[in-house]
Amino acid sequence: MEAMRMNASLPLEAGQTAPCDDSRESLRQTFLAGEGLDQEWLIPLPSDASKRKYFRLSEALLMDAPPPHEKTISFQLIADLLHECGLSVPQIYAADHANGFLLIEDLGELPYRKAIEEGIPEVLLYGETISALIHLHQKLPDNPMGLPSYDLELFLKNACLYLEWYDPSLPEEAQAQFKEVWEEAYQNQPQIPTGLLLKDVMVDNLLWIPEREGFKRCGFIDFQDGVWGPISYDLVSLLEDSRRDLSPSFAQEMLDIYFKVFPDLSPDEFWASYCLWGAQRSVRILGVFARLAKRDGKSHYMEHCPRIWKYLQRDLAHPHLQDLKKWFECYGKFND
């Protein structure tokens, strides 16, 4: 892979559109030919909720991430930063940001879900993920890249996906109250330490790399939407997994690992933040899954909604979120 050269193509500018799907195969072949890999067999890997596609080559993966929907530059910049911090993320061998292609390191074929099915203990898998996040929060206390913060605008934009897609028939008064209670909750959130949020730390975005040691056995593959915000976010993302049941007792066991390393972290303030961001994340995902079902015909994502409602109900029980709880008791669908 050392012989592969970096393609310096730039991403699309505002207003430009990506080539139609029919031309993606031709663009892929052109990119691979430029890297001397046009004779390689491409093995398609299973796709998920995004528009990204992955193909396995003999010694690397090809990421096909059509702009403007996907962010190959963000993926590369954050991958380089995480690699420098010592986390296991794909190295970038070549890039064509204009057309949305990356040639990246192949971290193997053992995603966490498969690892669990094969009998690797959950406590080991999740424990090393917690250790990796601990290392990241210790190694990167400041924001060296000037990443955008998870500010109020982004917070409300993501929460309002619920109104737009999951329950768009709500009366205007209810929608206005929804925005008001979320804004109030954001403004009154506790001030806990901040860090780089990978955003989607969950079972289907983690790879187990058994040949490595310690937390480096945890591979991260989905972080292109990373922002700067409270350290509680990725922890709740991991332990309130929208696609997999995790008990509160197991989540507490994993968080105890984190608390032991940061004894000065206020438990009261942490839990208030954890529940706020857990609730906001659940609401966002309800909107995302409804959008996938209604817009893209991927109705199977809706089967996860009952689990997400349980997480949401649990988080809204926190005393700091009483106004949010009242709104959902009035307008929500806890029995969905």
pLDDT tens by residue, 188-200: 999 999 999 999 9
Residue 52: the pLDDT is 86
Better pLDDT: 184 or 42: 184
Statement: residue 219 has pLDDT above 50: yes
Residue 9: the pLDDT is 38
2 vs 74: CA distance, rounded Å? 22
Statement: residue 16 has pLDDT above 70: no
CB 75 within 8 A of CB 103: no
Calculate the CA 162 to chain-centre distance.
18
Q: How far is CA 102 from CA 8, 24, 94, 106, 259, in A?
A: 11, 13, 6, 12, 37
Residue 200 structure tokens = 């989607």
Q: Average model confidence (pLDDT) for the chain? A: 91
pLDDT tens by residue, 20-58: 455 888 999 999 999 999 888 999 988 776 778 999 999
**pLDDT grade for 113, boundaries at 50, 70 and 90:** very high
Residues 6+ apart with CB under 8 A from 158: 280, 283, 284, 287
**pLDDT grade for 235, boundaries at 50, 70 and 90:** very high
104 vs 60: CA distance, rounded Å? 6
Helix H or strand E encompassing 92 = strand 92-96
